[in-house]
Amino acid sequence: MKELLPFLKPYRKETFLAPLFKLFEALLELLVPLVVADIIDRGIAGGDAAYVRTRCLLLVGIAAVGLVCAITAQYFSARAAVGFTTQMKSSLFAHLMGLSHAEIDRLGTGALITRMTSDANQIQTGLNLTLRLALRSPFVVFGAMVMAFVVDAKAALTFVAVIALLFLVVIAVSRLSVPLHAKVQAGLDQVTASTREDLAGVRVLRAFGMEDGEVRRFTEKSDALYGLQRAAGRVSAVTGPLTFVVLNLGVVWLLHTGGLRIDSGELTQGQMVALYNYMSQILVELVKLAGLIVSIARAIASAGRISAVFRVKSSIPTDAAENAAGNAAEEGTAPLDVVFDDVFFAYPDAGEDSLEGISFAAPAGSTVGIIGGTGSGKSTLAALIPRFYDTRSGAVRVGGRDVKDWDVSALRRSIGVVPQKAVLFAGTVRGNLLWGRKDASEEELWEALESAQAAEIIRGKEGGLDAPVEQGGRNFSGGQRQRLTIARALLRRPGILILDDSSSALDLQTDAALRRALRAFAGRTTTFIISQRTSSIRHADQILVLDDGRLAGCGTHEELLETCALYREIHLSQNGEEAAHGA
C-alpha cells in the first residue's frame, strides 16, 4: 500500500496535530478519576463543602478544555482524510485514463467503479477514525493501567490481566476480518458490474423477455455478497461481546477484592471509585477500538485493491520520452497513409487470435471500406490504427512509421474516431463538438454539423449550439447522437477518419446524404468506413472483407462482386439479384 502514502504528504501537519490533540484530551480524561477520588476522600469524608465546589469547578474546566481538544482533533482528522481521499481519487482517475484498452478490459469497468467509490470511501472513513482513535484508545487503555498502579499497585494487576486478554481478542479478530472484508469488496465488484450491465442493456433485456433470468442472476450475486458480509459481520460482531465479558469479569473481580481491602483498611473508598472509573474507561475505549479495528480492516482491504490498480502499468507507453521519434513528428491535418503488415492480434486472456495475417495498404487520402459478419474483427482492426491495442505480431504503420514509434498523444490527435456506440457527455452541443477542436470557430462548428447532416437538428433546438445535452445524450435519438459524434470527428480535420458503423441508426436517405457529404472530404483525409451495408462502402477506393479475423477479399466493389463469394453473398442479401447484375 506504499502507492497511497504520497497522498498523505500534503497533510503531514494535520496527521500530526489530530492525534496530538486527541492525546491531550485523553490525558485530561485520565485525570478525572483522581479528582473524583480526591473529592470523596478529602472533600466528602472531611465535610469540606468549599473543597468539593473547587474540585467540581476543576472537573468542569477539564471537560471544557477536553471538548476544545476533541473538536480541534476532529477538524484536523477530517481535513486530512477528505484531502487524502480527494487526491487519491484524482490520481486514480488520471491513472485509469492512462491505461490502455487491454488493461481496462482486464480490470473490468464494474470493479473500477467500486474502487473509485466504495473502496475510496472505506479508506476515508478508516483514515479519519485512525487519526482520532488509533493512538487515543491504546493511550487511554495503557494510561488507565499506569494510573491504576499510581492508585494501588496490587489492584492494578487485575488491569494487566484484563488488557492482555483483550489484546489477544483484538489480534485474533483482526487476522480473521481483513481477508473477509477483501472478499466482500470483490463480491461488491460483481454486483456493481452486473447492475451496470443490466441498466445499460435494459432495452435489450425487455426486447428478449430476459428480465426474470437477469433478476435470478443478480439475486445469486447479491446472495453471495450477503453471505460474505454475514461472515465478515459475525467475526466483527464477536469483538464487542468478548470485550464486555472479559472487562465485566475484571470489574467483578476488582469490586470483590477491592471491597475486602476497603474493609481491611488497605484501600479508601475514593481509591476504589478511581479504580472502577479507570476500568470503565478501558471498557469504553476498547469498545471504540473494536469498531476501529473493523473500520481499519475494511480500509486495509480497500487500500490493497486500489494499490493493485496503481501497480498496473499500461502496455502502451504514453511517456513522451519513450517516443522520441513521435515527439519529432510535425503535427498537421494532412492525410496519412496506413499499412498493415501481416498483423496478428488477440485480446488479453483470449483463447485465439481475433485477427490473423492482415495485410493491406491504404494510400493517403484514400477511402477504405471494411465489411464482414458480426464478430469478424472489423472494429478490432480499426482499434489498432490509433493504437488502442498493440498487435501480437506484425506491424501497423501510419504516415510511414510504426505506430509504436509515434507519441501516442500525437498519433491520436491526427485521428478522428466515431465509435460504434455514439457517446455524448453532459453539457451543451457546443461543448461536445469542441472536443474535436477547442479553437474551432462558430462557422466551423456549423460546417461540421452540415457535413454530418445534423445542422437542422441543432437549429431546431432551443439555444442552438448551446442547447443542453443530458448525460449520455439521452435527450437525443440514436441517429441524432451518431450525427453529432460524426460532426465532432470532422471538426478535428484529422489525417485519418475512422467511422465505425457510425450510420447504423440512420435511415437510408440520411445515410446517402451523409455519404455524399463525406465524399467531399476525398483527398483531405484517409477515411475508414466500417459498415454492415454494402451501399455505404461501394464507392470506396478499396474494400476489405473480413471473415472470422481473416482477410477474405480486398478490392473495389465491382472487383469483389466477381472475386469474393462472401462479399457477393452480403450484397445479394441486402440488394437482391437484380442489383448485383446492375452494379
Residue 109 lies in a domain: yes
The count of domains in the chain is 2
Domain co-membership, 504 together with 424: yes
Q: Which residues contact 419 (CB under 8 A, 6 or more apart)?
A: 485, 500, 502
Number of Cβ atoms within 10 Å of the Cβ of 184: 25
pLDDT at residue 318, rounded to an integer: 61
pLDDT at residue 324, rounded to an integer: 39
pLDDT at residue 546, rounded to an integer: 94
Residue 319 lies in a domain: no
pLDDT at residue 320, rounded to an integer: 39
- Residue among 495, 537, 533, 493 nearest 519 (CA): 537
Domain co-membership, 231 together with 350: no
**Angle in degrees, 0-180, between the axes of helices 153-200 and 211-263, rounded to the nearest 10:** 170
pLDDT at residue 268, rounded to an integer: 80
CA-to-CA separations, 219 to 33, 190, 214, 222, 322, in angstroms, rounded: 54, 12, 8, 5, 48
Residue 318 lies in a domain: no
pLDDT at residue 50, rounded to an integer: 87
Contacts of 313-320 with C-beta under 8 Å, sequence gap 24+, read 314/98, 314/99, 314/100, 314/103, 315/100, 315/102, 315/103, 315/390, 316/100, 316/102, 316/387, 316/389, 316/390, 316/408, 317/408, 318/98, 318/408, 318/409, 320/407, 320/409
Tell me which of 290, 311, 332 is where a domain ends. Answer: 311
Amino acid at site 42:
R
Alpha-carbon distance of 553 to 563, in angstroms, equals 8
**b/e string for 110-145 if b means 16 or more Cβ within 10 A?**
bbbbbbbebbbebbbbbbbbbbbbbbbbbbbbebbb
Domain co-membership, 304 together with 411: no
DSSP secondary-structure letter at 388? S
Residue 229 lies in a domain: yes
- Is 268 strand, coil or helix? coil
Tell me which of 311, 345, 372 is where a domain ends. Answer: 311
Domain co-membership, 540 together with 510: yes
**b/e string for 499-519 if b means 16 or more Cβ within 10 A?**
bbbbbbbbeeebbeebbeebe
CA-to-CA separations, 521 to 145, 515, 539, in angstroms, rounded: 84, 10, 13
Residue 332 backbone dihedrals phi, psi, to 5 degrees: -175, 180
Which domain does 63 fall in, by range?
A: 2-311
Number of Cβ atoms within 10 Å of the Cβ of 474: 11
Residue 316 lies in a domain: no
Domain co-membership, 224 together with 330: no
- Is 519 strand, coil or helix? helix
CATH number at residue 365: 3.40.50.300
Domain co-membership, 394 together with 295: no
Domain co-membership, 122 together with 145: yes
Q: What is the pLDDT along the chain (583 residues), one digit of tens a residue?
A: 678 888 999 999 999 999 999 999 988 988 888 888 888 878 787 778 888 888 889 999 999 999 999 999 999 999 999 999 999 999 999 999 888 888 888 888 878 888 898 889 999 999 999 998 888 888 888 888 888 888 877 877 887 888 788 778 777 877 777 788 778 877 887 888 888 788 878 878 888 888 888 888 889 889 988 888 888 888 777 777 777 787 778 878 888 887 887 877 777 888 888 888 888 887 778 778 777 877 888 888 889 889 999 999 888 876 533 443 443 334 446 889 999 999 999 987 777 889 999 999 999 989 999 998 888 889 999 999 999 999 999 999 999 999 999 988 889 889 989 988 888 999 999 999 998 888 889 999 999 999 889 899 899 888 889 999 998 888 888 888 989 999 999 888 889 999 988 877 777 788 888 888 887 777 788 999 998 888 888 889 999 999 989 999 999 999 999 999 999 999 998 876 545 444 4
Domain co-membership, 296 together with 391: no
Residue 317 lies in a domain: no
Domain co-membership, 55 together with 90: yes
Torsion of CA 99, 104, 109, 115, to 10 degrees: -50
- Residue among 266, 273, 243, 255 nearest 43 (CA): 273
Angle at 390 between CA 384 and CA 396, to 5 degrees: 55
Domain co-membership, 195 together with 217: yes
- Whether the model clears a pTM of 0.85, i.e. scores above it, the answer is no
Residue 306 lies in a domain: yes
- Residue among 337, 318, 385 nearest 495 (CA): 337
- Is 373 strand, coil or helix? coil
Residue 419 lies in a domain: yes
Cell (9 digits) for 325: 521519434
CATH number at residue 174: 1.20.1560.10
Domain co-membership, 120 together with 26: yes
pLDDT at residue 328, rounded to an integer: 36
Residue pLDDT, tens place only, 313-323: 888 876 533 44
Residue with cell 476515508: 124
CA-to-CA separations, 289 to 99, 113, 123, 531, in angstroms, rounded: 39, 30, 17, 62
Tell me which of 289, 311, 333 is where a domain ends. Answer: 311
Domain co-membership, 139 together with 188: yes
Residue pLDDT, tens place only, 294-306: 788 888 888 988 9
